[in-house]
Every structure is written in structure tokens, then in C-alpha cells.
Amino acid sequence: AQSVTQPDIHITVSEGASLELRCNYSYGATPYLFWYVQSPGQGLQLLLKYFSGDTLVQGIKGFEAEFKRSQSSFNLRKPSVHWSDAAEYFCAVGAGQAGTALIFGKGTTLSVSS
Amino acid sequence: GAGVSQSPSNKVTEKGKDVELRCDPISGHTALYWYRQSLGQGLEFLIYFQGNSAPDKSGLPSDRFSAERTGGSVSTLTIQRTQQEDSAVYLCASSLVSGGRGEQFFGPGTRLTVL
């Protein structure tokens, strides 16, 4: 069965430091992969997505992610974190009929310290 | 509208009552999805609509849950005989393109509390 694992429940990073959030997936075929962010009281916003092609994808707000098939990973990175990046981050894989349903990881809460 | 809207934003109900949650997708989006977000289970897929039909209902947790979509637009998620374990935030999303490549835009959710 398809699944997504985000090993880190909570991460604290200093403002200006780099960030990497881990995501591992289990899927039988080439996956559609996504990262979403959810700020307190806000809906889910898509940061970036991977369908095929270049394994390093750029997203909004300065985020990027790298698809590594050999490691079944799709880690999210940002070179310099801002206080406004504090939020919950979800990795997801497209599954179901033609990849329509999204299967989400449990999420990683990011705190940013000054 | 500018985005996906959901109503009500909050709903408190008593165990055993029925509730209806509404979703207005982005105009022109043919695909519509319902998810549930709870502390214990995280984000779970419930049901997917393409137009007015629901080709994937695999995530509905029990027969107390049903959903319909009319006119290829508004969708209603109905929970009958609510239970305390139904307490969660119910999220709706829509996409212009069906299938995995369609970016799903999410609404703010309806927070359901069953007393």
C-alpha cells in the first residue's frame, strides 16, 4: 500500500539557518509528489510538486525539493529560514485512480527561533 | 470566487445528530476532493468527484458518511448519527485538471466537534 513517512514530528531551526525536512514514500510506480504548508488557522498551500523530469524542483517562498528514486525520498530544503516559515509541512504522494487521491504524511512542525 | 470556500467554518453538534458540510470549489474546477484532518490520523482522503460522479469513494470511513455534488459545482458532505470520533477538520479541495497532475487547491476547512 502507498504510504508517506515524515520521520521528524517537530524541528526547531534558527532564523537564517538552512532547513531540510525529510520525506520517504512507498509507491509501486513513478509517484506524483507534493509538499504542502499549513500555517495556523490557514488552509493547505502547495509549495512544490514533482511529476517527472528534473529531480530537483523549485517551489514558492524559496523552497526546493529533490526526488531520489533510489532512496524513495523527496526531502524539502531551504537555504535560509525566515520566522514566517514557522508552520506545519506535509509531504504527499498522488495515489488512487490515476493518482487523484493524495496520501499525506503525518506532518512536520517547524519552529523558528530568533 | 477567488478560492475554495467551505461552510460553516465551525460546527458543534451532539452525538447522534446529522450534519452537512458544504464546499464551493473554484469556478471551472471539475475535480473536487474531501479530506479529513484529525490529531490521531493526520490527513485522510475521503472521496473524489469528477463532475457530479464519484469514481473514488474508497476513503469514506463508514456508511454514515456520504457526499454529493450537484451541477458540477457545490458539494455537500453529510455525516449521519455523528460519533465523537468524527470530530475533525474536514477539508475540501478542487483542481482544474483531474488525475495526479492536477494541483489541488484547499479550502480553509470546517472544524466539526461532536459532543
Q: Give the per-residue pLDDT at A94.
A: 85
B56 with A51: Cβ contact below 8 A: no
Q: Are residues B43 and A99, on separate chains, in Cβ contact within 8 Å?
A: no
Percentage of chain A modeled with pLDDT above 70: 96
Render pLDDT for A42-56 as a digit per residue (tens, 0 to 9). 889 999 999 888 899
Average pLDDT over residues A78-95: 94
Contact A43 B107 (CB under 8 A): yes
Residue B58 has pLDDT above 80, yes or no: yes
Which pLDDT belongs to residue A53? 85
Q: What is the SS3 string spanning chain A?
A: CCEEECCCCEEEEECCCCEEECCEEECCCCCEEEEEEECCCCCEEEEEEECCCCCEEECHHHCEEEEEHHHCEEEEEECCCCHHHCEEEEEEEEECHHHCEEEECCCEEEEEEC
Contacts of B107 in chain A (CB under 8 A): 43
Q: What is the pLDDT of residues B67-95, one digit of tens each?
A: 999 888 999 999 999 999 999 999 999 99
Could you tell me the pLDDT band of residue B100, with boundaries at 50, 70 and 90? low
Burial pattern A11-49, b for ≥16 Cβ within 10 A else e, equals bebeeeeebebbbbbebeeebbbbbbbbeeeebbebbbb
Interface A-B: count of C-beta contacts within 8 A: 64
φ, ψ (nearest 5 deg) of residue A84:
-70, -5
pLDDT (average), residues A1-17: 94
